[in-house]
Structure 1
């Protein structure tokens, strides 16, 4: 059963419901994973999406912050969630498709502005969150699974617009990249996007602070699609919809897509 999956940090699903509907209409992924929904589940505009064929939903919400949702044309079973680092945040939810594939949707903490856990509590929370993910995967190694989301780290040199300038900027510091690498290795996760597009600069986020984000192109690849080795070879068709960043009143993230032949 082939299916196409997309992940997108929407930065408020209620504020940008029309953009979600546009993406669902124009691109029609079978599954769309959203992060930073900033809404309790009961206030998410799920009826709008159901009217477009996405009547299967597994979500965790939170007023004003965080929040993750999986919208699907395909039947889904709620597969639970984890509160990594004990933050009490809606940052993870999992769903199981009828073919047995489990989809994990993550919104890893951004980590604040200062890459020092002694000076910045949020940076410490980010590292702790990743460490607990790593330990979970070590203790219960995943199989037939896909992990997507805003992981808030651009691991490779060509995942950022300037590697040297960003080495001391949160999201690309060596300690974060190392921690993400340990987490990925613990689950045996394969970076599907880079499996499909192994070379070249690739970004999924551009700051709102840039007066002309497109021309400046100071992007980072913060949004990821990973798969376990038993299904990673079935993945193909990876792409990042850069043009979506230019839609009216957009999120600062662009959606990332991949197709799986399972």
Structure 2
């Protein structure tokens, strides 16, 4: 993967708030990831399984053998070239949406970050906790500087819950989904082939529908930042 090739994706990430890079991982690399996930001890509280969704929170900590596969030279180059040398991982989740899943996600922005402990810090509010992992809404400028990388382990289209996005909405700040003008900003379906990567800004308005084609939608969701949090707050998953 050449640097000049990656530069073609930078404009979309900046102006539209997302971009799709195909063939970042080979089929063999994806299969190796799936084998590693299947072999993990899935009894811990960060493993959630229902009829509609299987999820692993703190994914890289729960399945440490996956890190060498995920942070391939190609992905490391994407982070360096499109985000910056100073960006680091702050959150990781694995999602497996089965082919007959009725799980859908309404239009929303990703407004929270995961932190190691709850501390009273001005500008950080709307605290919540899941499986002993604290989430909080930080100041908007932190969300505006963060990025998400989604590694697709299956071919994904609108029939099995591909993300729908409203291009450019990451530039509108934080706002309510019920204020969306779909006439002014038509939705785009982000179809991604197995081994491809979707990159997006957290404030990009996005959603996903139910599955209708019987095919899984397995995704590794990684969040990156280059920011230090205020008041002693620490990112939950920043590598040591």
Return the TM-score normalized by structure 1: 0.27
Higher relative contact order (CA 8 A, sep 6+): 2
